[in-house]
Amino acid sequence: MATVPLEHVANEGEWKLPSRGVVAMASLITAESSIFTIFVVAYLYYLGRDVTGPTPKEVLEIPYFGTVCLLSSSGFIMLAERAIEHGKMAAFRLWWSVTILLGGIFLVDTGLEWQKLIVHDHLTIHTNLFGTCFYSLVGLHASHVIIGMLMMLITLVFALTGHVRVERSYRVEVLALYWHFVDAVWVVVFTVVYVVGR
């Protein structure tokens, strides 16, 4: 039986433990995915079981603009990650700010949608099963966007005051993982609520 020389094994690279931040964020994402799964299944289960209106087809409009803003923010946060890895702090602050701005536009778009649904269409969380499931699912996602934006705003303040450094860029990567998760969840919510549900 042939043996592999030790120097050959050493050259293949050493296995490193993932950072505690990555493990913690992966655990959080796993737990949050379970919660979102429950809400999505509930939405699909109760879809079309209302005895009173309004129905999704009557009141929902597809939020193209907000969706494009939120999904494109993942690209800008990746640019911010790359910038801080290469020590380009000005570029990091720029791309990080653009990501926050796009998240903010998404939230404003969601707020305008809710205003129309509540004021014009008289759809509240108490109106019917659709209203309850819609506001619960979309509101759960919006709350995650708000949490992500608050964390990014705090990071931006630290970056503007010189407290974010290249050697701690892994912390930015951990936060970016959360933001990618929020964007990925929106793809599911968008598909279920505005494509399948209509």
pLDDT at position 80, please? 96
Q: What DSSP string describes 36-90?
A: HHHHHHHHHHHTT--SSS--HHHH----HHHHHHHHHHHHHHHHHHHHHHTT-HH
pLDDT at position 9, please? 47
Poorest-pLDDT segment among 7-16, 77-86, 179-188: 7-16
| pLDDT tens-digit map of 64-75 | 999 999 999 999
| pLDDT tens-digit map of 136-194 | 999 999 999 999 999 999 999 999 998 888 877 788 999 999 999 999 999 999 999 99
pLDDT at position 166, please? 81
Q: Are 31 and 181 in contact (CB under 8 A)?
A: no
Q: In the structure, what pLDDT confidence band is assigned to residue 77 with cuts at 50, 70 and 90?
A: very high
Q: Give the CA count within 13 Å in the CB-facing half-sphere of 102.
A: 20
Helices (H), the chain: 6-11, 20-46, 56-59, 64-85, 89-115, 129-160, 169-190
